A and B are shown apart, each in its own frame.
Chain A
Amino acid sequence: MMGSVLSTRARVWWAVITVVVLVGALFPVVSILMTSFKGPSDLNSGTFLPPQWSTDNYEQILSSGGSAQELFLSALRNSVGISLIATVIAVVLATLAAYAIARLNFPGKRLILTTALGVSIFPVVSIVTPLFNLWRNIGLYDTWLGLIIPYLSLTLPISIWTLAAFFRQIPWELEQAAQVDGATPWQAFRKVIVPLAAPGVFTTALIAFFIAWNDFVYGISLTSTSAARPVPAALAFFTGASYFEEPTGAISAAAVVVTIPVVILVVLFQRQIVSGLTQGAVKG
C-alpha cells in the first residue's frame, strides 16, 4: 500500500505490472512512430523497426517543397485555430453557467444540466446532414466558424459538467470573509476566487481541447478545402509517390506530429486531467 516499504516480491510485481501497462498504453504509438521512419521502399517490409531509418516522410509534410507540406500545415493551422477558439468559447460560456449552477439557486438549473447531458450523448452523425444543408445555404460551409459552432456541441456540455463539479468544491465563504476583512467585492473575487477557480478552468480547457482536436465527422462533412479542413480529415487527402500509391508514410509522419502536443500536455498535466475527468465522480 501507499507509502509502505515494499518487499522484494512486491517490487518485482510492481515492475512487471508497470511494464505491462506502459507497453499496452504506448505500443500503438511507438508502432506508428516506427512506420513514420520507414522510407518509401521499406513501407511494406513487414518489420516493426525500419530496416533503414529515413526522414523522407517528415520532409514530405514539413519541409518547403514537400509534396504534402501545404496540405498538412494548413490543416494543422485550422485544427489548432478552430480547436482553440471552440475551447475558449466553450470554457467562457461554461464558466458563467457553472458559476450560476454552483452558487445560485434558480429554477431551471436541473434543466440546464439535463440538457448538457442530453447534448453530450447526441449522435454527431445525426445532426451533420441538416447542419451541412444549413451551412451551405448561409455560407458557413467550409469556414472556421462553420466548424467552431458544431464543435461547441462537443465541448460545451462537458465543460459545464466539469466546471460545475470544480466550482462546488470552492469554499465560497472565503470571498465573504475577505470582504468582511475590508476587501472590495472585486478584490475579493480576484484575489480569492480566481486563484481557486483557475486550475479547474484550465483543466476543463485541456479536456475540451482534446475533444475538439479529436473530431473527425464534422471535419470531413463540413469542409472541402484547405480553408477549414482540420488534420484528421486532411489525412485522407495525402497521396503516395503517385496517384495510386498508398500514403502510408506521410500519414504516419503527420500522425506523429499531431500526437506530440498531446503527449506533452499529458506528461505535464496528467494530474489535472485525471482530476478533471473524475471530478464529478468524487465527493466534493
Chain B
Amino acid sequence: MRPLDEGETVHRSTRALAAALAVATIVPLAACSTGEGSGPPVLTWYINPDNGGQAAIAASCSDASGGAYSIETSLLPRDAAAQREQLARRLAAKDSSIDLMSLDPPFIPELAEAGFLAPVPDDVATATTQDVVQGAIDGSTWKDELVAIPFWANTQLLWYRKSVAQAAGLDLTQPVTWDQIMTAAQDQDKYLAVQGAKAESLTVWINALVESAGGQILENPEAPADELTLGLETDAGRAAARIVGEIGSSGLGGPGLPSEDEAASLTLFQGDKGSFMVNWPFVWSSTLSGVDAGSLDQTLLDDIGWTTYPQVVEGQDTRPPYGGISLGVGAFSRHTDLSYEAAQCIVSAENQAAYFVSDGNPAANTAAYDDPAVQKAYPMYDVIRQSLEQAAPRPQTPFYNEVSTGLQQTWYPPASVTEDGTPVTSTDFITAVLRGERLL
C-alpha cells in the first residue's frame, strides 16, 4: 500500500523517455570536451583566473618554441589563499604534473622553504630580472636567492573624484596623507573606498599602512615560527590601527565596509557618494568598459584622477601595496629546464605589455611601460611604474598564512579596531597561533 500514490499515471515507457530527455539536456553540453594530443612534452601551467591573457601567452609561447614544448593551462581558484592551498596540497604530494605556477608573492617563501620550488638557473635569473622593478624582485626572493620569476607586478594608487577634491580644496599634485583625504571625504559627506572585507585585501591595506608609517609587521620574517617577532606594538602599528579604526567607526567607509573587497570598493567609488579610493589599476579598464557599455557616464570617467598612495606620516614617503604574480617551477616537475625556458618566454617584455593591455595587470618589467599600447590604455602608466618602485611587499615568511589570517581575525571588522588595543591583541593572538597554542 502506498497511500501517497495517485495511481500509475506515468507509464514506464513515458518515464524512460522523460529520463532520456532530462539527460539529453545536459549530456550534449558535457560531451564537447577538449581532446589531448600527443607530441612535444606538455607543460602544465597553473594559473590564477584572469581574462584569458595567460592562456593566450601559453599558446603563443607554445608556437614560438618550435615544437620544443607546449603549454597547457590549468585554473586555480580566485581567492589568493585558496590558490596557495591547492598548490601546497599538490606539491606536498610531490606532484610531478606541476610544471609552472602563477604564484602570489606572499606565499613564495613557504613553498621555497619547503623545497617545493626548483632552483632558478643563474642565467635565467639574470635575464629575467633585467629592467624589473625592485618590488617584484624582492617579492620573488627568499633568503637572498631568486626562487621565482617576476611576471607581472601590481600596486595600488590613490584614485579620486576631481569634483570632490576640488570642493574640498585638496591639492592632489602634492603627496597627500590619509588624514587629509579622510577629512576631505568627511567634509563633503562622501564615502572613502577601502578594502575592509575579511580577506587578503585587508592584510594588503594593513601592511601598506604599517610600512608607510615606517614600520614592519614582522621584524624578523626569516625566523622560525616560535621566534617571529611582530612589529605592531610600535608607533607605526598604532598609526595604522588609528586610521583603520577611524574609517571603520566614523562610518566614513560606508555601510558596505565590512564586506567590501576591491570590486565593491570600485562600485562605491563610482557611485554618488564616491570620493577617494585606494585600489589596483584594474579599476581604470573596468570603468572604461562600463562607459563603453553605456552603464556609466563619460562625465564620471572625466572626473577620475589618480596619484600615488596616501602617506601615513606627513612628509614621509609612502609605501604602496605590492601585489602581482611570479612564476614558480615545481620541484617535482619532469621538465624543469623546459619550464624555465617557457617561463622566460612568458615573461618577455612584449608579453608583459600585451598582458597589461588585455588583462589590466601591470608589467613587472619597466621596458613594457614604453609600449605605446600600454601608454594609451593606461594613461597613469608613469604613476604605476613609480609606485611599483616604492611598493612594499607583505611579510616574506613561510608562516605568512598564519600571520595574514591572524591579522584578518583581529583587525576585523574595521570599526572594532582601536589605536591602543588592536596592536596588542593582534600581537598576542598571532604569537600564540605561531606557537600552536591557539586555533586560527
Contacts and interface: CB of A to CB of B under 8 A. Distances in A.
Are A and B in contact, CB atoms below 8 Å, in the complex? yes
Given A198-B12, A241-B286, A275 B2 contact: yes
Nearest to A77: B30
B231 interface: no
Interface stretch (A108-116, A180-188, A242-250): A242-250
A280 interface: no
Nearest to B361: A243
Contacts of A264: 21-22, 25
Nearest to A227: B74
Interface string A223-241: 0111000000000111111
Contacts, number: 136
Contact of B51 (A41, A67, A74, A257): A67
A5 interface: no
Interface residues of A, number: 52
Given A236-B79, A238-B49, A239-B50, A74 B33 contact: yes
B26 A243 contact: no
B296 A81 contact: no
Nearest to B22: A264
Nearest to A264: B22
Interface in B348-366: 359-361
A80 B28 CA distance: 11
A161 interface: no
A59 interface: no
Given A237-B75, A244-B280, A265 B22 contact: yes
Contacts of B90: 136, 141-142, 224
Nearest to A71: B75
Contact of B4 (A224, A260, A268, A282): A282
Given A244-B261, A244-B282, A224 B86 contact: yes
A275 B5 contact: yes
A278 interface: yes
Given A74-B33, A224-B86, A169 B2 contact: yes
B282 A245 contact: yes
Nearest to A198: B12
Contacts of A261: 22-23, 25-26
B78 A80 contact: no
B3 A268 contact: no
A44 interface: yes
A238 B52 CA distance: 12
Interface string B232-275: 00000000000000000000000000000111100100000000
Contacts of B82: 236
Contacts of B264: 246
A40 interface: yes
A41 B294 contact: yes
B131 to A, nearest CB: 24
A283 B93 contact: no
A161 to B, nearest CB: 16
A243 B282 contact: yes
A141 B97 CA distance: 12
A274 B280 CA distance: 52
Contact of A70 (B5, B34, B89, B261): B34
Interface string A247-260: 10000000001001
Interface string A75-100: 01100110000000000000000000
A269 to B, nearest CB: 8
A257 to B, nearest CB: 8
A128 B77 CA distance: 19
A218 B18 CA distance: 30
B32 A73 contact: yes
A208 to B, nearest CB: 14
A39 interface: yes
Contacts of A271: 4-6, 9-10
Nearest to A39: B293
Contacts of A28: none
A246 B266 CA distance: 11
Contacts of A67: 51-52
Contact of A282 (B3, B10, B95, B290): B3
Interface core residue of B10, B22, B290 (most chain A CB under 10 Å): B22
A212 interface: no
Contact of B74 (A76, A225, A236, A265): A225
A7 interface: no
Contacts of A80: 26-27, 30
A238 to B, nearest CB: 7
B285 interface: yes
B33 A237 contact: no
B51 A242 contact: yes
Interface string B9-45: 1101001001101110111011111100000000000
Interface in B283-302: 285-286, 289-290, 293-296
B262 A239 contact: no
B29 A73 contact: yes
B440 interface: no
Contact of B263 (A71, A236, A246, A283): A246
A189 interface: no
A233 to B, nearest CB: 9
B30 A241 contact: no
Contacts of B26: 76, 80, 260-261
16 contacts: A40-B293, A44-B267, A67-B52, A74-B34, A76-B26, A76-B29, A141-B90, A239-B49, A243-B49, A246-B261, A246-B263, A246-B264, A261-B22, A264-B25, A268-B18, A275-B4
Which 7 pairs, one residue from A and one from B, show the smallest C-beta to C-beta distance?
Answer: A41-B295, A239-B49, A136-B93, A77-B30, A244-B262, A268-B18, A264-B22
Given A62-B29, A132-B89, 8 more contacts: A73-B29, A73-B32, A137-B93, A142-B90, A239-B50, A242-B359, A242-B360, A260-B25
